[in-house]
Amino acid sequence: MKIKAATTLTLVLVFFLTNCSSPQKASNQSKNKSSLEKKEIEKPNLIIIHTDEHNFRTISAYQKLLSEEQAFVWGKGNNTKTPNIDKLADEGAIATSYYCASPVCTPSRASLVTGLYPQATGAPKNGLHISEDVPTFATILKDQGYATSYVGKWHLAGHDKYAFGVKYKAGFEDNRYMMKGGHAPYFYVTKDKFKGVNEKVAAKLPQEKVIHATDFFTDKTLEILERDKSKPFAIMLSIPDPHTPDFAKPPYNTMYDGLKIEAPITMASKYNAIKPSWGKGGNNEAQGKKDFSKEKDALKQYFGMVSHIDDSVGRILQFLEANNLKENTIVIFTSDHGDMFFEHNRRNKGVPYEGSARIPFLIRYPNKIPKGKVINTAYTNVDFTPTILSLMDVATDAKFHGLDTSDDFTNNKKEVNSDRITYFAKSGGWWVSAVNNRYKLVIDKKEKPYLFDLQEDPDELINFYYNKKYTTIAKMMQSELFKQLNKYDEPGLKIKQKYITK
């Protein structure tokens, strides 16, 4: 009996020691469980890196997806390398058919932050003020307990250059470094003064008081991230480059000196006769190859500015790594519009050509977005706000024109394809453009319709609108375009609907 009792006691002890933890182990398990529960309910952070007048072709992640002719429209091998921005595509997703709501600064920015087309934001043209009664993603996130900040060019509060102290914050609680506008490469900073200066003036000033705008705004962003890293944060950094005046600071100003820049093939004079009226004229159009030969250096400076931006992106990504914030932070790189840089014999923006209206959009969110994802569906930045709020699991009663496209980014498909049709327009309704992942229809008040097949004619030189093989496509694009113009009360609806194909 004693032996049996001892055996029973041993078995009980073994069972107890096997199945029960020590106080320390139990404490660790409790901490791990608590940590796990905290991670499950932890709010994701958001960083938007936004540039100005940025041609998507200068992002090497896009170059890898384009044909050689399209990746290097300025001559074979003549382009930038952006290893840090590329990380967002390698470790997240890249959208190949992302367009701005209007290829001009103010209306595009207004649409990005509100999820509405420009006509509903109060700021459909440059220099106007965004409506204070329209919700933005920042007002919504602030109400959810986020530390919200904006750093850089705003251009939604008038035309004042190098002016801060924007009264209406649009939800960005820390807007100390929200600048109304301006593109001087350097800032002269003192206690009593903040002034934008060019490189010649900067060279004559005390160097400890001069800083490049890209560095200044990146530094301020990193300071805010350091301050807010222990709580949910949402910050938008809007770098004024690579907008004109096309000046890169050393050493970026000589980084691309060795390139032998060539004129884009669409600049050839033989194409001028077939160019639509909306693609001609204007103050930004370059007048022939003679001018281009003088402007090659401007493109090299532009490339240098892009490389400078890429290094700034690298600094931000490094901060996230060093502070264990990578997995739970959404990082987005995009722009307000493109820059033609002599494609179709034009400079800058304002036209529906790809170089002007198509913008880079790369996003990384390791907790939800699979690596190496390519999305070919057509979007505009009107879709941005509803999509980002959905990715962040933030519910809202706000109404948007854009769609919640978050499933495209979070599903397990490596490549997402859709023939969704969306539209963008010139401020004031001069022209409107329907676009999907292959076709683009442009209708102008005084011009015949143009239908481009971006697969067969990526240079946008051929009008397929009157080609019988494209009749069904033209009807489909046009019908959907006018349906959306009516739905969103687009000024472009005033364009006479006399072009319906039969």
Domains of the chain: 42-425 (3.40.720.10)
The reported pTM is 0.90
Comparing 285 with 209, the larger pLDDT belongs to 209
Average pLDDT (478-495) is 89
Q: Which of 44-48, 68-72, 154-158, 272-276 has the lowest mean pLDDT?
A: 272-276
Average pLDDT (109-129) is 96
Round to whole Å and give the CA distance between 26 and 494.
Answer: 71
The DSSP secondary-structure symbol of 245 reads: T
277 pLDDT higher than 60: yes
Residue 457 token pair: 């004619």
Counting residues of the chain whose pLDDT is more than 90, the rounded percentage is 81
Average pLDDT (288-294) is 61
Comparing 305 with 22, the larger pLDDT belongs to 305
pLDDT of residue 397: 96
Comparing 6 with 488, the larger pLDDT belongs to 488
480 pLDDT higher than 50: yes
Report pLDDT digits (tens) over 137-148.
999 999 999 999
Residues linked to residue 361 through DSSP beta bridges, in sequence order: 334
Report pLDDT digits (tens) over 62-83.
999 999 999 999 999 999 999 9
Structure confidence at residue 37 as a pLDDT band (50, 70, 90):
very low
Q: Average pLDDT of the chain?
A: 90
pLDDT of residue 492: 72
Helices (H), 149-212: 199-204
Residue of 64, 124, 50, 47 lying closest to 360 (CA atoms)? 50
305 pLDDT higher than 50: yes
Round to whole Å and give the CA distance between 400 and 115.
Answer: 5
